[in-house]
Amino acid sequence: MKGRIRKAQGTGHRAQGSGLRGRSAGHRAQGTGEEAQSAGHRAQGKKLRAQSTERRAEEWYAVRGVKKMKGGMGERENGRKGD
């Protein structure tokens, strides 16, 4: 009989442990939400950086007097994207 009682206590403790784990998981989920937001901001930064590099490329071609650009921007300016 004593063995059974011990088992019951063990399961009780285990249940408590899982409850705590569940709570921590809830906090973890909140943290991931914040991380996702920061990742979104990071993506915005990358977009801005990409735009600045495109501008730099435009300046480079303008300085060298080259009309056609290798990227998609030049094609858009020339109106060839519709073709």
Q: pTM for this one? A: 0.17
Q: Give helix then strand counts, H and E, for the chain.
A: 2, 0
CA distance linking residue 59 with residue 54, whole number of Å: 9
CA distance linking residue 25 with residue 32, whole number of Å: 10
Per-residue pLDDT of the chain (83 residues; tens, 9 = 90+): 565 555 555 555 555 555 555 455 555 555 555 555 566 556 666 666 666 666 676 776 666 666 655 555 555 455 555 55
